[in-house]
């Protein structure tokens, strides 16, 4: 009898672990899927300063791999220098004033829908840069394309848009007291964004509840059979 009990305990432990892990994975995965779009980081720069922007995506056009990203430059930039990357070829377009007007990054190999892709560029701002810089992005895939160009209206939640454009907020020099305060502000914005869009949180909570329920069932089954 003792040998049977010793054999079954690891299986019960495995079921308990699987229940908890399954719930946690679901809780983490659902918000990630719900928030999938082309994003820019950082989403805040200081007027008159320089910064490196990274545009990233974690999906294609439905089930089709990504082949290129075309990023249009807003007014208010004094310089644009795309980041050289062996995974992308780069084509730069310039306006009549000689400034960069758009940059197209073409993937050397199409980026699968289950992998994250990212491109970057260094940008310079002047003191008169507008408070909001909008970077419309056209994501082209092997089949189809998506135009990330939508802007939220006054009082509208940006997360409710189907294809929001990446947006960078420009702050006055010294407004946030340096990089440390800026990072704290970004963390606060992330929390506020999560609170403004309850659906991913609710779905994530459902995953945790499912994991806890599996744990309770496994423990009860263990006690009954012990």
Question: Taking the CB of residue 27, how many other CB atoms lie within 10 A of it?
Answer: 20
| Low-confidence residues in the chain, pLDDT < 50 | 1-9, 13-14, 16-35, 177-185, 188, 191-192, 194, 196, 200-201, 219
Say how far residue 121 (Cα) sits from the centre of its chain: 17
Give me the pLDDT at residue 221, please.
Answer: 54
- The answer to whether residue 74 is domain-embedded is yes
Taking phi first (over 0 means left), then psi (-120 to 50 degrees means alpha), and beta for anything else, what does residue 100 get? Answer: beta
Domain for residue 29, yes or no?
Answer: no
The answer to whether position 8 is within a domain reads no
pLDDT score at 129: 93
Domain assignment of residue 223, yes or no: no
Return d(Cα 166, Cα 150) in angstroms, integer.
9
- Helical axes 198-225 vs 179-196, angle rounded to 10°: 70
d(CA 212, CA 219): 11
Percent of the chain with pLDDT over 90: 54
Q: How do residues 129-164 score in pLDDT, each as one tens digit?
A: 999 999 999 999 999 999 999 998 887 887 788 999
Domain of 97, in residue numbers: 38-176
Residue 189 lies in a domain: no
- Provide the CATH number for the domain around residue 53: 2.60.40.2230
Would you say residue 81 lies in a domain? yes
pLDDT at 158: 76
pTM score, whole prediction? 0.64
Chain-centroid distance of CA 103 in Å reads 21
Whole-number pLDDT of residue 175:
64
Structural domain contains residue 10: no
User: Would you say residue 201 lies in a domain?
Assistant: no
The number of folded domains in the chain is 1
């Amino acid at each position: 009898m003792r040998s049977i009990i010793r054999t079954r305990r690891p299986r019960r432990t495995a079921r308990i672990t699987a229940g908890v892990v399954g719930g946690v994975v679901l809780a983490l995965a659902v918000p990630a899927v719900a928030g999938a779009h082309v994003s820019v980081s950082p989403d805040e720069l200081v007027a008159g300063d320089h910064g490196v922007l990274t545009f990233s995506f974690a999906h294609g056009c439905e089930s089709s791999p990504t082949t290129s990203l075309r990023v249009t430059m807003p007014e208010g930039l004094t310089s644009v220098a795309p980041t050289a990357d062996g995974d992308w070829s780069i084509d730069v377009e310039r306006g009549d004033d000689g400034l960069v007007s758009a940059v197209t990054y073409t993937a050397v190999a199409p980026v699968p829908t289950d992998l994250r892709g990212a491109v970057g560029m260094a940008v310079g701002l002047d003191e008169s840069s507008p408070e909001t810089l909008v970077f419309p992005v056209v994501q082209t895939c092997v089949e189809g394309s998506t135009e990330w160009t939508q802007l939220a209206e006054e009082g509208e939640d940006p997360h409710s848009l189907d294809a929001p454009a990446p947006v960078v907020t420009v702050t006055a020099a010294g407004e946030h007291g340096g990089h440390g305060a800026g990072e704290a502000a970004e963390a606060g914005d992330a929390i506020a964004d999560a609170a403004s869009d309850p659906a991913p949180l609710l779905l994530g909570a459902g995953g945790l509840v499912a994991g806890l329920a599996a744990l309770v069932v496994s423990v009860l089954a263990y006690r009954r059979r012990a």
